[in-house]
Amino acid sequence: MKKYDICIIGGGIIGASIARELAKYDINLVILEANARVAMETSAGNSGLVHGGFDPTPGRLNARLNVAGKLRYEDWIKEMEFPYLRIDSTIVAFTAEEMEHVHMLYERGLTNGLEAKEMEIIDAKELQKREPNISKEAIGALVCNSSIAVDPVELTKTLFTNAIRNKAELKVNSKVIDIKKSKDGYEIKTSKGEVINSKFVINVAGHYADVISKMAGHPDFNLVTKRGEYRILEKTEAGIVNSVVFMVPTIHGKGVIVAPMLNGHVLVGPTAEDNVPKDETRLVTQKQFDFIGEIGKKLIPSINMNKTCMTLSGSRPIEPTENDFWIKPAKGDDHFISVAGMKSPAIASAPAIADYVIGLVEKVEKLNKKKDWNPIEKTILPLS
């Protein structure tokens, strides 16, 4: 039986971020992923925005890690080559009530640690100047200039490439089917029939993190789903918006956008559907497809939704009791850490989530840096 110091379960963007940052330490590290490729679940069905950090409720862990994560992206951008674009977020108000929310979000941004120069509130005239296709019914907006668009699938691949360069082992087609406590850690069995032993387990299994935690004897939390569906418009529609144009999040559900994509297409959505089955988190339904058309038209009346060439879907894994990121050691076992409830802004927070998890490991065991850790990853991966 092969022995590891740390086993990460889950090869989405959060597992990749933790693997990349943990690979700087002198440990035997393995990542187990159920699918044949990495980032095929929630990490492949989202808006891909490193949010500015004005939206999360102040005081929550996700508010703190969003702002810290956004700053830490600057290290990743220096060290690794992956597609990204610095782009404004424009949160558009249509009513006086929504305009009040825009002001509230500005204040919330300051409370969360954004600098005043990162945000501005603009009136209808200025909004029309910056976004000429926006609805004439819009009355103003909050603009945040510190967001970054990333391609989460490509970023996941880059992070894993760097982790592997630094001696981490990634095993795909390796669904974890059994976990038992052993005298020096955990015995983990995969669908390939392989059994590995690891001192620490880091459970980053997305929608299945609650299942994995229970499998290991830790029924500490449950997760629920909230599926979001999108339509992707042809490249002919590029230029219809200049920034990521949002509905006011607190009123219309989180993060409804019309946005330019890094590959030249335009993204419209997502919807929000509660409690879909775990194995239907990537479905697109006719009803939501039609509803996305209405969302697009509300923000941008001239948008041609008939130019839909692809659809996309993913679901936010939500821990309903705290409604925050659930990044905790199991009750009674600090060697089993769950990184769950990874709803938005988890991509924005990803580097800070990795730092936070390393902090939890270091509370139990000292980690020593590798002398030859190589943070540089300049392998250029094509956009998918």
Contact window for ligand FAD (CB under 6 A) among 34-42, 124-132, 164-172, 357-365 = 34-42
- Picking from 291, 292, 153, the residue whose alpha carbon sits closest to that of residue 231 is 292
Our CB check for ligand FAD shows the closer of 168 and 204 to be 204
Contact window for ligand FAD (CB under 6 A) among 3-11, 129-137, 357-365, 374-382 = 3-11
Residue 342 in the binding site for ligand FAD (CB under 6 A)? yes
Query: Can you tell me which of 6, 7, 8, 14 binds ligand FAD, judged by CB under 6 A?
Result: 14
Whole-angstrom CA distances from 272 to 98, 202, 223, 306 are 19, 29, 16, 22
Q: Where are the alpha helices (DSSP H) in 80-198?
A: 96-112, 124-130, 152-165
Give the footprint of ligand FAD on residues 190-249 (CB under 6 A).
204-206, 208, 212, 228
Q: Token pair for residue 141?
A: 């907006």
Our CB check for ligand FAD shows the closer of 192 and 378 to be 192
Give the nearest distance from C-beta 221 to ligand FAD in angstroms. 14
101 is catalytic: no
- Residue 114 in contact with residue 53, Cβ under 8 Å? yes
Q: How far apart are the C-alpha atoms of 29 and 22, rounded to whole Å?
A: 8
Question: Nearest residue to ligand FAD, using CB?
Answer: 12
Give the footprint of ligand FAD on residues 126-165 (CB under 6 A).
none
DSSP string for residues in 279-327: GGTT---HHHHHHHHHHHHHH-TT--GGGEEEEEEEEEEE-TTT-S-EE
Q: Which residues contact 137 (CB under 8 A, 6 or more apart)?
A: 94
Contact window for ligand FAD (CB under 6 A) among 43-51, 100-108, 161-169, 374-382 = 43-51
Query: Can you tell me which of 9, 22, 148, 170 binds ligand FAD, judged by CB under 6 A?
Result: 9
Residues that bind ligand FAD (CB under 6 A): 9-15, 32-35, 39-43, 45-49, 51, 175-176, 204-206, 208, 212, 228, 255, 270, 314-316, 342-348
Which active-site residues does the annotation give?
Answer: 51
